[in-house]
Amino acid sequence: MNRKIAVIVGSLRKDSFNRKLAKALIAAAPAGLDFSFVEIGDLPFFNQDLEAAPPASWTRFRNELKAADAVLFVTAEYNRSVPGVLKNAIDVGSRPYGQSVFNGKPAAVLSSSMGAIGGFGANHHLRQSLAFLNMPTLPNEAYIGAAHTLFDDAGALTNDGTRQFLGQFATAFAAWIEANAPARAA
Ligand code: FNR
């Protein structure tokens, strides 16, 4: 049975390089992985008071995560950290207390930016949250710099080295999921 992977992109921009990279990773991934994007742009800021009647988008987001075996984060870096919209999504998914939709799910983190260090700061700040969320996180590092040079006008990846890297990263994630995801009934 294929593994279901929720893909969360830490950028809302229509032409986001991170979203393009996520699509390129999916195209380069081995068989056996079903990816679906889980959108985060419509989630109201987390406020515990709203739990009395949770916004429909919170419930939609939580249900989509619950249905996934693993989570792939592909994120931009804002001011050397995680974009606020992604941090908010993590906060929404982590509550109510004791009902986190992230608990125990294997994760992988890919970051990219137009700069030279490829979102290293966001990548590692995100890893700090994933440790708290009890998500076994693929140790492989993936920082994609100069993201604006990697795509053609139609948004397709033009760099073969990056394509190869993304394929290897996805293959490593597939093995990581099998090693770390809870066993499933056949
Ligand atoms: C940035 N950018 C950026 N780049 C970087 O390498 N390190 C950083 O700390 C920041 N900080 C930052 C803050 C804010 C508010 C913005 C809007 C941008 C530039 C960033 O890498 C660039 O906008 C990317 O294009 C963002 O990724 P997406 O949206 O293309 O996926």
> Given this model, what pLDDT does residue 120 score?
98
Residue 186 clears pLDDT 60, i.e. is over it? no
Confidence at residue 182, expressed as pLDDT on a 0 to 100 scale: 77
Q: How far is the CA of 21 from the centre of ligand 1 (A)?
A: 15
Q: What is the pLDDT of residues 18-59, one digit of tens each?
A: 999 999 999 999 999 999 999 999 999 999 999 999 999 999
Read off the pTM: 0.97
Residue 135 and residue 41: Cα distance in Å, rounded? Answer: 23
Q: Model confidence over 121-163: pLDDT tens digits?
A: 999 999 999 999 999 999 999 999 999 999 999 999 999 999 9
Please state, rounded to an integer, the average pLDDT across all residues of the chain.
96
As for ligand 1, residues whose beta carbon falls within 6 Å of it are 11, 13, 16-18, 76-80, 113-115, 119
Does 63 score more than 90 pLDDT? Answer: yes
Residue range 91-107, pLDDT digits in tens: 999 999 999 999 999 99
Cβ pair 156, 23 in contact under 8 A: no
- Residue range 76-92, pLDDT digits in tens: 999 999 999 999 999 99
pLDDT for 185: 55
Per-residue pLDDT band for 1 (boundaries 50, 70, 90) equals confident
Distances (CA, A) of 10 to 58, 91, 93, 101: 17, 14, 14, 18
For a substitution probing ligand 1, which of 8, 16, 78 has the most ligand atoms within 8 Å of its CB? 78
Buried (b) or exposed (e) across 37-58, using 16+ Cβ within 10 A? bbebeebeebeeeeeeebeeeb
Contact present, 11 and 19 (Cβ < 8 Å): yes
Q: How far does residue 24's CA lie from ligand 1's centre (Å)?
A: 19
Share of the chain residues as helix, strand and coil, in percent rounded to the nearest 5: 40, 15, 40
- Per-residue confidence (pLDDT) for residue 184, from 0 to 100: 63
